[in-house]
């Protein structure tokens, strides 16, 4: 039986509810996140690639190397890149994506305008502000689609932080909202984590102001408050890849600290 991929699932959900903006956004999120195999005319030379083009202006991509092989029917050169990388590579070239054509139920033609929209959406940057937290509360009223999107994004953030908590907050001087608080994030990963959180909002169809992002050291006293009321997200930790600080004792309600 042929494998059903995450892109197949997202495509099927979109086609089953063509008027559902949320389903369409989730499909574009999958396109951005998955590894795509771009069919080439020849092997890359000095990082220069020459994609095979359909006559009507599409590069040809597949979400599995086996699907590319089935389409071509013989060995062929390709390069494997994330969907977001391919969208960026096509900037200014007025080209669309021919996805899984002829070999999978998720075959679809994404015109140049759709690729440009995806590229622009992914390039949006979050603003940076400083605010002091006055009260930390349990998260409330956020849609399950956002929780699922955050979980999916952080599942690929291997070794970037020890963990994260989603909480509601009230700030000194007024203002309230939700905060995705990362604990023990490595400095060079912070921009990527902010971008992941921003994309989770965007592709869930939620207003950007619905959630802030913050970073806390493992020894920060605020982490204890976050752990008491927050929704916890565990990030995968790659053995030997990063020296990520551990979550502090007591930050996991299911694993209280051992007292000696």
What pLDDT is stored for residue 175 in this prediction?
83
Q: Is residue 244 part of a domain?
A: no
Q: Is residue 180 part of a domain?
A: yes
Cα 135 to Cα 68: distance, rounded to the nearest angstrom: 53
What pLDDT is stored for residue 33 in this prediction?
87
Q: Let me know whether 18 and 109 are in one domain.
A: yes
pLDDT in tens, 206-234: 665 578 889 999 999 999 999 999 999 99
Contact 228, 221 (CB under 8 A): no
Q: Let me know whether 137 and 40 are in one domain.
A: no
Cα 239 to Cα 31: distance, rounded to the nearest angstrom: 28
Relative orientation angle of helices 190-202 and 21-33, to the nearest 10 degrees: 150
Cα 212 to Cα 235: distance, rounded to the nearest angstrom: 18
Token digits of residue 181: 């608080």
Q: Let me know whether 55 and 151 are in one domain.
A: no
Q: Is residue 247 part of a domain?
A: no
What pLDDT is stored for residue 238 in this prediction?
66
Q: Is residue 181 part of a domain?
A: yes
Q: Let me know whether 31 and 119 are in one domain.
A: yes
What pLDDT is stored for residue 233 in this prediction?
94
Relative orientation angle of helices 144-154 and 21-33, to the nearest 10 degrees: 0
Q: Let me know whether 109 and 166 are in one domain.
A: no
Residue 33 host element (H or E): helix 21-33
Contact 61, 37 (CB under 8 A): yes
Cα 74 to Cα 68: distance, rounded to the nearest angstrom: 9
State percent of the chain over pLDDT 70: 86
Give every residue of the chain whose pLDDT is below 50, as ranges: 240-245, 249-260
Q: Is residue 243 part of a domain?
A: no
Q: Is residue 162 part of a domain?
A: yes
The CATH number assigned to the domain holding 116 equals 3.40.1350
Of the residues 103, 123, 143, the one at which a domain ends: 123
Q: Let me know whether 117 and 144 are in one domain.
A: no
Q: Let me know whether 11 and 102 are in one domain.
A: yes
Cα 239 to Cα 241: distance, rounded to the nearest angstrom: 6
In the chain the beta strands, taken as DSSP E runs, fall at 35-39, 53-54, 58-62, 78-82, 96-99, 108-110, 133-137, 163-171, 176-183, 212-216, 231-233
Q: Let me know whether 18 and 105 are in one domain.
A: yes
Cα 179 to Cα 166: distance, rounded to the nearest angstrom: 6
What pLDDT is stored for residue 256 in this prediction?
37
Residue 2 host element (H or E): none
Q: How many domains does the structure of the chain reveal? A: 2
Q: Give 98's strand partners.
A: 60, 109
What pLDDT is stored for residue 125 in this prediction?
60
What pLDDT is stored for residue 2 in this prediction?
74
What pLDDT is stored for residue 255 in this prediction?
43
The CATH number assigned to the domain holding 185 equals 3.30.429
Range of the domain at 52: 6-123
Cα 42 to Cα 79: distance, rounded to the nearest angstrom: 10
What pLDDT is stored for residue 200 in this prediction?
85
Q: Let me know whether 91 and 117 are in one domain.
A: yes
Q: Let me know whether 11 and 115 are in one domain.
A: yes
Q: Is residue 128 part of a domain?
A: no
Name the residue among 84, 152, 156, 149 with its Cα closest to residue 123: 84
Q: Let me know whether 54 and 94 are in one domain.
A: yes
Terminal-to-terminal C-alpha distance of the chain: 55
What pLDDT is stored for residue 246 in this prediction?
52
Q: Is residue 257 part of a domain?
A: no
What pLDDT is stored for residue 132 in this prediction?
82
Cα 98 to Cα 53: distance, rounded to the nearest angstrom: 9
Q: Let me know whether 111 and 163 are in one domain.
A: no
């Amino acid at each position: 039986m042929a494998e059903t991929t995450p892109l197949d699932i997202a495509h099927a959900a979109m086609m089953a509810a063509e008027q559902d903006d949320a389903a369409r956004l989730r499909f574009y999120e999958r396109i951005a996140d998955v590894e795509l195999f771009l069919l080439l005319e020849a092997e890359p030379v000095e990082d220069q690639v020459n994609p095979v083009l359909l006559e009507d202006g599409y590069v040809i991509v597949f979400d599995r190397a086996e699907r590319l092989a089935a389409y071509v029917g013989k060995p062929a050169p390709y390069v494997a890149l994330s969907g977001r990388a391919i969208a960026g590579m096509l900037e200014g070239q007025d080209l669309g994506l021919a996805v899984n054509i002829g070999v999978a139920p998720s075959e679809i033609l994404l015109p140049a305008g759709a690729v440009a929209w995806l590229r622009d959406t992914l390039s949006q940057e979050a603003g940076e502000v400083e605010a002091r937290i006055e009260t930390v509360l349990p998260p409330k009223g956020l849609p399950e689609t956002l929780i699922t999107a955050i979980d999916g994004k952080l599942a690929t953030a291997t070794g970037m932080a020890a963990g994260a908590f989603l909480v509601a907050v009230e700030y000194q001087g007024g203002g309230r909202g939700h905060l995705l608080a990362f604990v023990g994030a490595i400095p060079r990963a912070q921009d990527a984590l902010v971008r992941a959180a921003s994309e989770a909002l965007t592709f869930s169809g939620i207003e950007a102001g619905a959630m802030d992002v913050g970073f806390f050291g493992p020894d920060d006293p605020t982490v204890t408050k976050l752990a008491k009321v927050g929704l916890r997200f565990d990030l995968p930790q790659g053995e030997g890849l990063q020296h990520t600080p551990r979550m502090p004792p007591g930050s996991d309600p299911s694993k209280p600290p051992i007292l000696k």
